[in-house]
Structures are given as C-alpha cells and as structure tokens.
C-alpha cells in the first residue's frame, strides 16, 4: 500500500473530512439499496471510535450544480442513523458560514453529514475556491470513495491541496489492494470475463487485459462486434460498425500474444428485449430479423470451463439483457460458475454486482467492488485522480 492509511492518522480530537460514496438509489424519499453506505461503515466507525469529529461528505445523483430537493442526502442520513444506532445530523449545505459553524461544533466521537456536494457547480469543476471552503471544515482528509476516484472533482482532488494529510480509508485500501493483486501479482491462470453493451466502453480495458490475462471471455452485446469481425452475420444484434476493424485487429493481437479470446458460440435471439421468450441458435445462424439478447448454453459451458481452470477470475458486465427474465439465463449461469470457482474471484460494476445478488451467490464471491467507472479505469491501467491525490505512505 503506497498511500497513507487512515489507520496511520492521529485521529483523537481531530476533525476529519471523510469523503465517502453515498450515491445510493432512492425511491419515495428512502434508500432502496444501502450497499455503499454499509461499505464505508468500517472507516466511519474507526474514526469515531478513535475520537475523531467526522465531517462526512458525498455527492448524490447529477443535480448539475443546482439545488434539487429530490437529491438531498436526507434519506441517507436516516438510513445511516439506523445502521449506526444514533442520530446523524444533516447540515443545510456543504459550505458556508452555517456549515462551518456546524462542523466546528462536532465533538469527538460524533459526526455531521454535509448536504449534496454537487448542489454546487464548483464540485464537478474541481474549483480550487470551493475546495478551499471544504478544506476549512476539517483538520485532515480521508477518502473512502473509490467508486468516485476516477473523477477529478473538488472533494476528491483539489481539496488535498489545502487539507493534509490525505489518507485512504479502509474501503479505498481494500479496493486498491484487490485490483493491484489482479494487475501485478495474480495467481494464474488469470481469466477475465467481460460483458455489457458496447465495445467502445471497454476497448481500452480489452487492450490492457490482453497483456495481463491468460484468457478472456467476451459476452453481452459487445461480443457481436467481434463476431461480425469474424465474418458472421449478426441479424439485428447491437453492433458498432465503426469498431469492427478494431475488433479484428484485437483478435489478431490476441493470437499473436497467445491469449485466447472466447466468444459466444450460440445465442438466445428474439425480436427485441421486450419479447416474452427467445430461441437458441448457433452464432452462425442468427436470423436477419432477430437480435441476440443473451448467450446460449454452449457458450455458458465454454465460459464455465475457463472459469473452472482459473486461479484468479475478474468479471465485469452482464452476458445479456438480464433485467428481462427470458434473457437472464446466461448472466445468472456465469454468476453461479464464478461463485463455484476454486479461484480468487472479483466482481465489479453495478450491473454485474446486481447479477450476483440476483443469483443469490454474492456471499461466495471473493471480492465485490463497489465501483463501476473507477473499477474499469483502474483495470485499464489509468491513473485515478482520487488515488494520485492521496499522501504517500
């Protein structure tokens, strides 16, 4: 761990600005999934138990730099108070004289939750003056929001120019250690499974993984840009025509490196995602008036064989339109295979996490990342602003 840890900070009687990721789904004014809140609790409890006065901050949704009552963190304060068993006061804003007074009034072992950071345009603009105002609320900084670490924003990046030391929270440490283990010292064979809709979203990831993995399995709609590159007809399946040649070069590069790319050999096809049922066909026989919406059983078996032989597995992206029951089979079967693997398994990305939860196998996954974009960018080999901004150990 190259970055300073929250465990190394003298916390007693200090005000800690704790940047968390409390960007959770809401419905009817209540939190509907508290996974991200629970994930940061160990860091929050550590700070409170060691006598810190905690100023807790997060964004929620995309209010676009304006006040949106529907994106207030009030429901998060309610759910967090239930989890902690004590009241969690919500400041009326995240900066300003009243907020500063509230922050200075917090006693050791207590906390205040700031209102949504993105109610101010300075947050997403990484504005130094807004960051300076946030920094004035505390004595030191802890970032436990790995899921937002790929964003160069005021509470993640610019604030560390005015508030030091800047340490990694426990969740941030676990995420970095887990992804570092995959990229730097995996137990082999290392198998990556990728899915989702678009090749364009994950092209850099595919290219970086080719230099690191022993095998790569590609499902989801993104697979059909690759099968088109092999010369197969894809019917009405989602394909990015402008990337077919790029996909062909990627397949050539995988052969040059001796890294197998497993693509679907069969698919579940239908008129569209809302269809009540689909039929399974060979990947070579997709009808012109049908679209592939899931991988078929032969593909599941092929991917499953790769997973069985692996010692490390990383999975991002569903195998089909798994939100609709007729096209969920492939994704749920891959979730079962990953859970059954005698390997270190890592799952990341909102849809993929939802899939393992829906399959009922989340507790059998080695590590579930709370991040989506940051998870992908780290695996792509990019530097994350929220990590780079932290103090070196």
Distance of CA 28 to the CA centre of its chain: 25
pLDDT tens digits, 233-243:
999 999 999 99
Q: Indicate if 373 belongs to the active site.
A: yes
For 312, the 3-state DSSP assignment is strand
- pTM, 2 dp: 0.88
Residue 320 has pLDDT above 60, yes or no: yes
The active-site residue out of 364, 373, 381, 382 is 373
Which residue shows structure tokens 């995240």?
94
Q: What is the DSSP letter of 384?
A: P
The predicted pLDDT at position 1 comes to: 54
CATH architecture of the domain formed by 6-173: 3-Layer(aba) Sandwich (3.40)
Flag whether pLDDT at 63 surpasses 80: yes
3, 36, 79, 202: the catalytic one is 36
Pick the CATH number of 186-379 from 3.40.50.300, 1.10.3720.10, 3.40.50.1260, 3.50.20.10: 3.40.50.1260
Q: pLDDT of 34-45, one tens digit each?
A: 989 999 999 999
Residue-level pLDDT at 183: 85
Instruction: Return the domain boundaries, the chain.
Output: 6-173, 186-379
How far apart (Å, rounded) are the C-alpha atoms in residues 341 and 29?
Answer: 39
Give me the pLDDT at residue 370, please: 78
Range with lowest mean pLDDT among 81-90, 181-190, 347-356, 372-381 = 372-381
Predicted confidence (pLDDT) at residue 248 exceeds the cutoff of 80: yes
Read off the pLDDT band of 245 (50, 70, 90). very high
Burial of 345 (0-12, 13-18, 19+ CB in 10 A): buried
- 36 labelled catalytic: yes
Work out the mean pLDDT of the chain and round it to a whole number.
Answer: 95
Burial of 205 (0-12, 13-18, 19+ CB in 10 A): buried
Catalytic residue list contains 45: no
**Residue 96 buriedness (CB in 10 A; 0-12 / 13-18 / 19+):** middle
Give the whole-angstrom CA distance, residue 236 versus residue 75.
43
Q: Which of 142-156, 348-362, 378-392 has the highest mean pLDDT?
A: 142-156
pLDDT of residue 144: 98
Examine the residue annotation and report whether 350 is marked as an active-site residue of this protein. Answer: yes
DSSP 64: T
Q: Are 344 and 312 contacting, i.e. CB atoms less than 8 angstroms apart?
A: yes
Q: Measuring CA to CA, which residue among 21, 118, 22 is closest to residue 79?
A: 22
């Amino acid at each position: 761990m190259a970055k300073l840890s929250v465990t190394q900070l003298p916390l007693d009687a200090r005000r800690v600005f704790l940047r968390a990721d409390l960007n959770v789904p809401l419905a009817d004014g209540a939190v509907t999934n508290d996974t991200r809140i629970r994930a940061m609790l160990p860091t929050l409890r550590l700070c409170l138990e060691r006598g810190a006065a905690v100023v807790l901050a997060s964004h929620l949704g995309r209010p676009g730099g304006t006040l949106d009552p529907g994106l207030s963190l009030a429901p998060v304060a309610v759910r967090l108070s239930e989890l902690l068993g004590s009241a969690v006061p919500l400041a009326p804003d995240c900066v300003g004289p009243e907020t500063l007074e509230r922050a200075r009034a917090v006693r050791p072992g207590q906390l205040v939750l700031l209102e949504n950071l993105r109610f101010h345009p300075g947050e997403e603009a990484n504005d130094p003056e807004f960051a300076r105002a946030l920094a004035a609320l505390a004595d030191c900084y802890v970032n436990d929001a790995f899921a937002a670490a790929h964003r160069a924003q005021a509470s993640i990046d610019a604030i560390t120019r005015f508030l030091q030391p800047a340490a990694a929270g426990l969740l941030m440490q676990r995420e970095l250690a887990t992804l570092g283990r995959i990229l730097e010292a995996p137990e082999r064979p290392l198998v990556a499974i990728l899915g989702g809709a678009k090749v364009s979203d994950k092209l850099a990831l595919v290219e970086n993984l080719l230099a690191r993995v022993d095998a790569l399995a590609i499902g989801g709609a993104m697979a059909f840009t690759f099968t088109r590159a092999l010369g197969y007809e894809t019917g009405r399946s989602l394909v990015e025509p402008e990337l077919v040649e790029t996909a062909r070069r990627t397949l050539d590069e995988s052969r040059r490196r001796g890294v197998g790319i497993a693509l679907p050999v069969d698919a579940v096809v239908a008129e569209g995602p809302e269809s009540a049922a689909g039929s399974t066909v060979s990947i070579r026989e997709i009808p012109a008036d049908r679209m592939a919406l899931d991988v078929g059983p032969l593909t599941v078996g092929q991917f499953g064989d790769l997973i069985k032989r692996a010692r490390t597995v990383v999975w991002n992206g569903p195998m089909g339109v798994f939100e609709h029951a007729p096209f969920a089979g492939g994704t749920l079967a891959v979730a079962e295979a990953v859970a059954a693997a005698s390997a270190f398994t890592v799952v990341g990305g909102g849809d993929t996490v939802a899939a393992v939860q829906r399959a009922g196998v989340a507790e059998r996954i080695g590590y579930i990342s709370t991040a989506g974009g940051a998870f992908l960018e780290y695996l792509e080999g990019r530097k994350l602003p929220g990590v780079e901004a932290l103090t070196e150990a």
